[in-house]
Amino acid sequence: MKTNNRKERISAMVDLITTKCIGSQEELAKLLAEKGFNVTQATLSRDLKMLKTTKVPTDVGSYIYILPDSDSLKDKLLSKGMSKTMPDFQSGFISIRISGNIAVIKTRNGYASGLAYDIDMSHTPEILGTIPGSDTIFAVLEENLSLERCREIFSKILPLDRQHKNK
């Protein structure tokens, strides 16, 4: 059994979170134990908080941990065959409407945070930032973008062809 060296444990956690679809602390603790790291729930919570992990919904209705500034969610879903292209892997999207330099994006309940994260991680310069609620995202855009350009930008991130309202 390994000693509980924090640096090694954190490294193992990062490896597990970026390569496996882990949906609970219990599951993560079990995987860490298999690697020789026995951790309490409190320690695991502190480590997850320190790593700034986020739990996001998947297309299949479950949740998984991801790390900030990581494409690990997309990579994990692609490797499991759960997603074929970037826009398809976030099925919570419902619609988008643009008013001035604000895009109002509707999602299924609970999906806004994960989708806002995807939008922010696209590092699209015309999107200044997002504010998610539980089923709505406000995205602030650069001034004076045409509707055509907005559609072009969001079509790289969202499945616009499947939205219920096309306005």
Q: Tens-of-pLDDT digits for all 167 residues of the chain?
A: 454 588 899 999 988 988 888 889 999 999 999 999 999 999 999 999 988 888 877 666 678 888 776 555 555 554 444 444 443 344 578 899 999 999 999 988 778 888 888 898 888 999 999 999 988 999 999 999 999 999 999 988 888 775 544 34
Type of residue found at 135: D
Residue 32's pLDDT is what? Answer: 94
Burial class, 16, CB count within 10 angstroms (exposed 0-12 / middle 13-18 / buried 19+): middle
Hunting for tokens 């999602």 — which residue is that? 107
Q: Among 40, 37, 46, 1, which residue's Cα sits nearest to residue 16?
A: 37
Q: What is the pLDDT of residues 27-70, one digit of tens each?
A: 999 999 999 999 999 999 999 998 888 887 766 667 888 877 65
Handedness of CA 74, 70, 53, 44 (dihedral sign): positive
